[in-house]
Amino acid sequence: MSILPSSRNSATRRTGVVTVLDVGSSKVCCIIARLSPREEGELLRGRTHDIRVIGIGHHRSEGVKSGVITDLDAAEKAIRHAVDAAERMAGLTVDSLIVNVSAGRLKSETCSATVNLGGHEAEGSDIRKVLLAGARQAMAAERQVVHSLPTGYTLDGERGIRDPLGMIGDTLGVDMHVLTGDAAPLRNLELCINRCHLSVERMVATPYASGLAALVDDESEMGAACIDIGGGTTTISVFSNGRFVHGDT
């Protein structure tokens, strides 16, 4: 699983079906939706698709406590029931999905990194290089990077740059918010899903997903916290200047 932020152009302009799975302490939910590209609007900046839900499934959670898999067989059974119900409603079969995670003692860290531009324009490869350098600072043997998101760029020490692509300078820097979790619970969650003959496209931290779903653009720009109270886990996310800057469980 990549530690770099996904490319907006490649990830969000697709047309097709997306499946999301939420394995909670009280219930397992699965949603299947069809995506269709749309023009980015002023009221919903960054929203590049219309979404139509075509399948929903849920089942009482088993073998899960506080988001952690405690019984592989029981959790697998609950996931199978939820996904099967969503597939029946949608009239199709899925083989991969996006998974919400709240397990693994999620931890936020801030990291900074710089790369030398040598006076030329900042290219996509330079941005990827500095992002990778920042994310690597938060990597540890027993931790897994769930999200590594830039909170701001610097160019020759000048802060407040949102997108440095094409700008000229000598030094490109980035401040990053890196969210990590204990590797074992995340791997066991993925293993349980794999046992259902499904692959994990990516994992999304529950506090991040909740904030994106609940907050409007003005709130995330001005600064807001979103608290998600679940059956066994409570998460909080903090947004500022339109960026996800802190998450905790």
Report CA-CA distances (Å) from 131 to 4, 136, 152, 155, 176.
7, 9, 11, 14, 8
Specify which residues 159 forms β-bridges with.
none
Helix (H) or strand (E) holding 76: helix 72-90
Q: Identify whether 139 is part of a domain.
A: no
- Domain annotation covers residue 33: yes
DSSP, residue by residue, 140-155: -TTEEEEEEEEEEEEE
Residue 212 placed within a domain:
no
The pLDDT of residue 56: 98
CATH number assigned to the domain comprising residue 192: 3.30.420.40
Q: Does residue 232 form part of some domain?
A: no
200 lies in some domain: yes
- Per the structure, the complete domain to which residue 20 belongs is given by 8-104+183-205
Q: Which residues contact 184 (CB under 8 A, 6 or more apart)?
A: 104, 142
Residue 125, domain member (yes or no) = no
Domain contains 189: yes
When divided into structural domains, the chain yields a total of 1
The answer to whether the beta carbons of residues 30 and 59 sit under 8 Å apart is no
In this predicted structure, what is the pLDDT of residue 10?
37
* pLDDT given for residue 26 in this prediction: 92
Question: Phi and psi for 26 in degrees, rounded to 5?
Answer: -105, -30
Q: What is the per-residue pLDDT for 231?
A: 85
Q: What is the pTM of this model?
A: 0.83
Three-state secondary-structure class, residue 102: coil
Q: Parallel, antiparallel, or unpaired for β 49-60 and 64-65?
A: unpaired
Is 60 within a domain? yes
Measured CA distances, 40 to 11, 17, 21 (Å): 15, 20, 26
In the numeric block, the tokens 């932020």 are attached to 5
- pLDDT at residue 89, as a whole number: 97
Rg (CA), the chain: 19
CA distance 198 to 94: 8
Report DSSP letters for 1-15, one per residue.
--SSPPPHHHHHS--
- Going by C-alpha positions, the residue among 244, 233, 239, 243 that lies closest to residue 105 is 233
**What is the per-residue pLDDT for 135?**
84
Instruction: Per residue of the chain (249 residues), give pLDDT as tens.
Output: 445 554 333 343 445 899 999 999 899 999 999 998 877 665 555 677 788 999 999 999 999 998 899 999 999 999 999 999 999 999 999 999 999 998 888 999 999 999 999 999 999 999 999 999 988 887 777 889 999 999 999 999 898 898 999 999 999 999 999 999 999 999 999 999 999 999 999 999 999 999 999 998 889 999 999 999 988 889 999 999 889 999 998
pLDDT at 240: 92
Element (H, E) at 121: none
In the chain, the N- to C-terminal Cα span, in Å, equals 22
pLDDT for the residue 8 = 38
